[in-house]
Structure 1
Amino acid sequence: MAEHAIAPEALKDNVAAALGALAQSVAVSRGEVTAIVAAGDYLRAMQTLRDAPACRFELLIDLCGVDYSTYGDGAWQGPRFAVVTHLLSVALNQRVRVRVFCPDDEFPVIPSVEGLWAAANWFEREAFDLYGIVFEGHTDLRRILTDYGFIGHPFRKDFPLSGHVEMRYDAERQRVIYEPVTIEPREVVPRVIREDNYGGLH
């Protein structure tokens, strides 16, 4: 039977004590605990969070990539790519968020946690597909959402909104073909309603 959830500050202290030097920081924001760990300590930190008696995060419930290149209107000075994982302890009724930054912006690589939580398999494939983050040690790292032969990683901030290629069915060839994008790039401008009495009572 699950216990009552402990206060975020107490959970923060438990996580910080369990991770020790493996954590760069452990903080509470908006009632949620976030631990930041270095890429070199990521696997050991994650195993500690799974196995430590005060943590027991037996479930990985989410893992995603983040591209910080335009964060703070481009004022961000840290590494470009991060992996954010959410862990759940059913036994202790508690959750934690773990953030780890990829050391190399040009070739973002982070260890896979698939060996610790099987649920990481598809989440890591999704982050690889959409952000180009490579998960070292993953057993089957390939695209999961985009089509075969897709070029680029569509959740990167520098990926064009129109993409690089378009596909259509060619009746003469009787197959789907891929061609360079033919649509013109456009500015996304919010619609302005100019009626004086718009939304008012008549």
Structure 2
Amino acid sequence: MTTKLEVLQLALEKALGEGAAISAALGEVTVVVKAADYIKAMQTLRDDPTLAFEEMIDLCGVDYSQYGEGTYDGPRYAVTTHLLSLANNWRVRVRVFCPDDEMPIVESITPIWRAANWYEREAFDLFGILFDGHGDLRRILTDYGFIGHPFRKDFPISGYVEMRYDPEQKRVIYQPVTIEPRENIPRVIREETYGMK
């Protein structure tokens, strides 16, 4: 007897062919496609009647630079998309790696699912992943003058600049981060009768 997960895997293998690596773990199916095949695979996932992934429920960027405690030796950036088929009641995760670490870029899936618009803007803002064909790729969570992409693993925890209101200039100004190092010593309170009441 085949399970629903096995039926999904067979349908994916038949629809996507040799161009996709399909795996199942912990009750979830993951499809890894090449950047060159990304749009075609996503179109197939939506339009193939045996799959019918009509809803894109999530899209996010991933930075693999320190994955596996530094033992990972592959492309640094990936885009992971979660799709849902209401007709078949199943889900799939699609992962595509950006071929160039210096200029991470993949095709935009906004022509296929309009809901990808804000998710792709978020991945651009936080990871610096570019989406070719996106109509309005601009920052969505950080300030327009923000420098860098804060979810990259090499982004400094304190950031590059800080902003504050200057009462003399009567405006918000940006300045280099100034954090004075300090030593925190925890205060320990010991009571002889603690917990005995």
The verdict on a shared fold, with TM-score over 0.5 as the criterion, is: yes
Is residue 34 of structure 1 aligned with residue 33 of structure 2?
Answer: no
Q: Distance in 1 between matches of 2:122 and 2:87?
A: 28
Residue 132 (structure 1) aligned to one of 112, 128, 144: 128
Q: Distance in 1 between matches of 2:180 and 2:133?
A: 41
Give the equivalent residue in structure 2 for 1:22.
Answer: 19
Q: Which amino acid is 1:7 matched to?
A: K
Alpha carbons of structure 1 residues 29 and 194: separation in structure 2 relative to 1, 3 Å: farther
Q: Write the deviation string for residues 16-68 of structure 1: whole angstroms up to 9, x where unpaired.
A: 11111231x10111100100000000000000000111110011110000000
- Give yes or no for contact 1:109–1:133 (8 Å, CA) kept in 2: yes
- Give yes or no for contact 1:162–1:185 (8 Å, CA) kept in 2: no
Give the equivalent residue in structure 2 for 1:108.
Answer: 104
User: With structure 2 as the length reference, what TM-score do the two structures score?
Assistant: 0.91
Is residue 11 of structure 1 aligned with residue 32 of structure 2?
Answer: no
Q: Distance in 2 between matches of 1:185 and 1:80?
A: 32
Residue 183 (structure 1) aligned to one of 162, 179, 182: 179
Q: Distance in 1 between matches of 2:128 and 2:188?
A: 40
User: With structure 1 as the length reference, what TM-score do the two structures score?
Assistant: 0.89
Residue 43 (structure 2) aligned to one of 35, 43, 47: 47
Q: Distance in 1 between matches of 2:105 and 2:189?
A: 50
Q: Distance in 1 between matches of 2:77 and 2:45?
A: 22
Alpha carbons of structure 1 residues 56 and 69: separation in structure 2 relative to 1, 3 Å: same
Q: Which amino acid is 2:48 matched to?
A: A
Q: Distance in 1 between matches of 2:189 and 2:13?
A: 55
Residue 96 (structure 1) aligned to one of 83, 92, 116: 92
Moved over 4 A (4+): 184-187, 191-197
- Give yes or no for contact 1:135–1:141 (8 Å, CA) kept in 2: yes
Q: Which amino acid is 1:29 matched to?
A: A
Structure with higher Rg: it is: 2
Alpha carbons of structure 1 residues 137 and 169: separation in structure 2 relative to 1, 3 Å: same
Identity between Structure 1 and Structure 2 (%): 63
SS at match of 2:125: helix
Task: Give RMSD over aligned pairs.
Answer: 2.2
Q: Which amino acid is 2:15 matched to?
A: A
Q: Distance in 2 between matches of 1:185 and 1:106?
A: 33
Q: Which amino acid is 1:35 matched to?
A: V
Deviation at 1:99, TM superposition (A): 0.3
Q: Distance in 1 between matches of 2:26 and 2:37?
A: 26
Deviation at 1:196, TM superposition (A): 11
SS at match of 2:70: coil
Q: Distance in 2 between matches of 1:195 and 1:61?
A: 51
What stretches of structure 1 of length at least 5 have no aligned partner? Answer: 1-5
Summarize the alignment of residues 187-198 of structure 1 with structure 2, pairs less than 5 Å apart: none
